[in-house]
Amino acid sequence: MDGSIRDWQRHTPQFTPGKNFHHSGAMGPCIVTADEIPDPSVLQLTTFVNGEMMQRGQVADLVFDIPALIEYCSTFSELVPGDIIATGTPGGVGAARTPPVWLQAGDTVEIEIPGVGRLRSPVLDESPALTA
C-alpha cells in the first residue's frame, strides 16, 4: 500500500519524495510466492477507505507486464528474493476525484487482492518530533 504524501510528491517531476516517508509504504503481514500465484496478471486489487470502494484495477491493465518490469528494474538494480517492485496505482486516487478526497486521521484504508489477502492500515496524525 502506497501512502503518498502529495505535497512532497509535487516538489519534482519524480515521485520519490512523496513516496518515501516513514510508515508510508505498508506491506504484509506476509507476501505470497510465485508458486502460489502462477499468473499474476489475473489478480485484481481493490482499495477501500472506511469501507467504501475507492479503487479497483487488474494487474493485466498495467502498461508493462510483470516480466517486463522485472527485466527493466534488473538493468539498474540487483534484484534478490524478497525484493518488492512497486508498480503504480489503479484509477480512483483521491487527488484525481472531483472534489478531491484526502485521507484524514481516523480513516481506515484497506487493500485487498483475492488469493493474497487484505491489508488494513489506520490513518494517524503525524507524531510530534521527539525532543531531548
The CATH number assigned to the domain holding 65 equals 3.90.850.10
The answer to whether the beta carbons of residues 57 and 90 sit under 8 Å apart is yes
The pLDDT assigned to 131 comes to 52
What range defines the domain where residue 54 resides? 6-122
Q: Is residue 131 part of a domain?
A: no
What is the pTM assigned to this prediction? 0.78
Q: What residues are paired with 117 via a beta bridge?
A: 113
Q: Is residue 31 part of a domain?
A: yes
Instruction: Report how many domains make up the chain.
Output: 1
Q: Is residue 129 part of a domain?
A: no
Q: Is residue 75 part of a domain?
A: yes
**Residue with C-alpha cell 518515501?**
20
User: Is the pLDDT assigned to residue 45 strictly greater than 60?
Assistant: yes
**Residue with C-alpha cell 525532543?**
131
